[in-house]
Amino acid sequence: MQEKEFLKTIFSENDFKEDELSMILPKFKKVKFIKNDFLLQEGQTENYYWFLESGFARSFVNDINGNDITTNFYSSEDAVIDYSSFFLRSPTRENIQALTDCVCWQLDFKTFQQLFHGIEAFREHGRTILVSSYFVLKNHRVSIIADQAKERYIQLLKDKPQIVQNVALKHIATFLGITKSSLSRIRKEISL
């Protein structure tokens, strides 16, 4: 893919004027991560707004027993960010880690703010992504409480099949709120 062409899939010419794109796209910097690199670590303040071009990443927190629990997965075209840390300028409790080699596009906080306040279409685009992320998070939280583990797994298969095919079962299990052995049992039931 030609340099910056990926960003045109994120910032569609249908939603942005040509002059707006010419102000937005050059502000992004391409950054590569290798498997297990951290985009963000607990205690840091999120300083970047990322879009994932290729690869897979996850966010996770450590529970009171020191176990890491996956809170989200990211794949191509996803915004990868801890929104509360980014907007509130506060240290994060989450970690964001590359699960594979990844190519990301980075926009620093100051530049994000300039674009957000200076270009209405950029502001609306950002709001849409934020609201969508909120609904995904809210639905997942309710699902952990109200749905059977098998239903949660089937929903993940529908929503993000590429995650199920490319991410370690231990991470999927913690995301679903179950043990790895329970996930294996569910996978066997579904394949029958």
Looking at the predicted structure, is the pLDDT value of residue 158 above 80? yes
**What pLDDT shows up at residue 2?**
58
Summarised one tens digit per residue, pLDDT across range 66-96 is: 999 999 999 999 999 999 999 999 999 999 9
The predicted model gives 139-149 an average pLDDT of: 92
**What pLDDT shows up at residue 191?**
81
CA pair distance 14, 63, nearest whole angstrom: 43
Question: Contact 111/26 with Cβ under 8 angstroms?
Answer: no
**What pLDDT shows up at residue 3?**
63
> Residues of the chain with pLDDT > 90: what percent?
89
Domains defined for the chain, CATH in brackets:
5-119 (2.60.120.10)
Summarised one tens digit per residue, pLDDT across range 11-69 is: 988 889 999 999 999 999 999 999 999 999 999 999 999 999 999 999 999 999 999 99
Looking at the predicted structure, is the pLDDT value of residue 1 above 50? no
**Structure pTM?**
0.90
Mean pLDDT value across the chain: 93
Question: Contact 49/112 with Cβ under 8 angstroms?
Answer: yes
